[in-house]
C-alpha cells in the first residue's frame, strides 16, 4: 500500500498565549512531551504568544497538554490555546539547519549540529547532535547547566568513574559529553520510544557506538549501581524516581540533577539530604539550576 504523503509530511503546531514568567517551565514541559522547538511570536509587558512544534499531535491535543502541565506544576497560570493543528512540512530539515547553531559549553565542550563537520574546534571537545524528537540539543539552559556541572565534576575528580548512568537520556548529549571527558561507558533509560534510535545515531556520529547504550523504560530497569549518575528532568519526575536514584548511586558516588527552577533547588536538596546525600555544589543561571550530590 502506498503511504499517504499528506500525513507523512506534516507536523503538529500549537499557538498559545500565557503570562510572562510562565514560559520557561511551560516550554520545558513541552520539550519533555516531545516538542521539537518553541518560537516566540509576540511579547508584551504582561504576556507573550508562543508557537510550539511537535512531530505528532500530543495525546489528547493541546488542552490535555495544558491540563497535565497545570497538574504536575501546580501552576494557576492560564494558558490560552489560540490555534492548533497539522501543518505541512516545508523543508523541515532546512529549518533545523537555519536555527541550530553551535554552542560552546563550559571550558572544554562545544555542541555542534551533525552537518557542521568543518567547524574550528579551538581545542574543545566536539559533541555532534542530529536534531530529532528528543530534547537535548544544548540550547536549553537546563542542558547547559547539566553539561557544565558534569564537566566540572569529571575534570576535578581524583579519578574518573568508569561508568555513568543517564536517567532520561534523551538525545544522548550528556552521555556523549561524558565520554568525551573520559568516562568509558554510559548506560541510560528514557520513557520516550524514539530515544534509543536517537542515542544510537548520535553515538555513531561521535564514534562512541557500543560505549553508550540506552533502553526504553524507567530507571527501575537498571539493576547495577554506578559511581556517577545524572538526570536532567523536571522536579516532579526527579522526585518520582528518587528511590531509584538512591539505589543506583553507589556509596560515596555522585548524583547530578538538572532541569530545576531556581526556587525548586531547596526542595530537591532537602529531599535527597534526608535520603542520605549531601549537597556538594549548585549551579544557577537565570531561573534555572543544577545540583551535585554525594551519597554518604
The fraction of the chain above a pLDDT of 90, given in percent, is 57
Contact 3, 33 (CB under 8 A): no
CATH assignment of 99-295, among 3.30.70.100, 3.40.50.150, 3.40.50.10800, 3.40.50.2300: 3.40.50.150
Residue 24: its pLDDT value, please?
81
Whether residue 5 is predicted with pLDDT greater than 70 in this model: the reply is no
Lowest mean pLDDT among 21-30, 92-101, 187-196, 260-269: 92-101
Give the dihedral sign, CA 126/32/264/294: negative
Whether residue 92 is predicted with pLDDT greater than 80 in this model: the reply is no
The mean per-residue pLDDT over the stretch 192-217 comes to 92
3-state secondary structure the chain: CCCCHHHHCEEEEEEEEEECCCHHHHHHHHHHCCEEEEEEEEECCCEEEEEEEECCCCCCHHHHHHHHHHHHHCCCCCCEEEEEEEEECCCHHHHHHHHCCCEEECCCEEEEECCCCCCCCCCCEEEEECCCCCCCCCCCHHHHHHHHHHHHHHHHCCCCCCEEEEECCCCCHHHHHHHHCCCCEEEEEECCCCHHHHHHHHHHHCCCECCEEEEECCHHHCCCCEEEEEEECCHHHHHHCHHHHHHHEEEEEEEEEEEEEHHHHHHHHHHHHHCCEEEEEEEEECCEEEEEEEEC
Residues 28, 29, 34: CA angle, nearest 5 degrees = 95
Residue 108: its pLDDT value, please?
96
Residue 96: its pLDDT value, please?
54
Residue 39: its pLDDT value, please?
80
Give 228-277 pLDDT, tens digit per residue.
999 999 898 999 999 999 999 999 999 999 999 888 999 999 999 999 99
Give the dihedral sign, CA 46/47/48/54: positive
Domain boundary assignment for the chain: 5-90, 99-295
Give 168-179 pLDDT, tens digit per residue.
998 899 999 999
Q: Are strands 288-295 and 277-285 parallel, antiparallel or unpaired?
A: antiparallel
Burial of 274 (0-12, 13-18, 19+ CB in 10 A): exposed
Rounded CA separation 291/259 (Å):
10
Residue 287: its pLDDT value, please?
79
Residue 8: its pLDDT value, please?
53
Residues 251, 257, 258: CA angle, nearest 5 degrees = 170
Whether residue 123 is predicted with pLDDT greater than 80 in this model: the reply is yes
Residue 201: its pLDDT value, please?
92
**Residues in contact with 30: Cβ distance below 8 Å, sequence separation at least 6, in sequence order:** 38, 52, 65
CATH dotted code for 5-90? 3.30.70.120
Residue 103: its pLDDT value, please?
84
User: What is the overall mean pLDDT for the chain?
Assistant: 87
Amino acid at each position: 500500500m502506498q503511504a499517504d504523503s499528506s500525513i507523512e509530511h506534516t507536523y503538529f503546531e500549537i499557538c498559545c498565549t500565557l503570562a510572562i514568567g510562565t514560559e520557561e517551565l511551560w516550554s520545558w514541559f513541552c520539550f519533555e512531551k516531545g516538542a521539537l522547538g518553541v518560537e516566540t511570536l509576540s511579547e508584551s509587558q504582561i504576556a507573550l504568544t508562543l508557537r510550539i512544534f511537535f512531530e505528532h499531535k500530543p495525546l489528547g491535543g493541546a488542552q490535555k497538554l495544558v491540563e497535565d502541565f497545570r497538574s504536575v506544576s501546580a501552576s494557576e497560570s492560564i494558558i490560552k490555546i489560540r490555534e492548533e493543528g497539522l501543518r505541512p512540512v516545508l523543508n523541515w530539515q532546512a529549518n533545523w539547519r537555519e536555527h541550530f547553531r553551535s554552542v560552546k559549553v563550559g571550558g572544554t565542550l562545544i555542541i555542534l549540529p551533525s552537518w557542521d563537520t568543518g567547524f574550528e574546534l579551538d581545542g574543545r571537545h566536539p559533541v555532534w547532535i542530529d536534531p530529532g524528537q528528543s530534547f537535548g540539543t544544548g540550547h536549553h539552559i537546563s542542558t547547559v547547566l547539566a553539561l557544565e556541572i558534569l564537566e566540572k565534576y569529571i575534570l576535578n575528580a581524583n579519578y574518573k568513574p568508569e561508568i555513568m548512568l543517564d536517567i532520561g537520556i534523551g538525545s544522548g548529549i550528556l552521555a556523549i559529553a561524558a565520554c568525551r571527558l573520559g568516562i568509558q561507558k554510559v548506560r541510560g533509560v528514557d520513557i520516550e520510544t524514539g530515544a534509543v534510535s536517537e542515542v544510537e545515531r548520535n553515538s555513531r556520529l561521535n564514534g562512541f557506538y557500543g560505549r553508550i547504550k540506552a533502553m526504553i523504560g524507567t530507571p527501575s530497569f537498571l539493576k547495577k549501581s554506578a559511581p556517577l549518575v545524572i538526570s536532567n528532568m523536571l522536579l516532579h519526575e526527579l522526585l518520582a524516581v528518587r528511590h531509584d536514584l538512591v539505589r543506583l548511586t553507589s556509596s560515596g558516588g555522585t548524583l547530578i540533577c538538572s532541569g530545576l527552577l531556581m526556587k525548586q533547588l531547596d526542595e530537591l536538596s532537602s529531599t535527597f539530604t534526608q535520603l542520605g546525600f549531601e549537597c556538594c555544589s549548585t549551579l544557577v543561571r537565570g531561573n534555572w539550576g543544577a545540583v551535585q550530590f554525594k551519597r554518604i
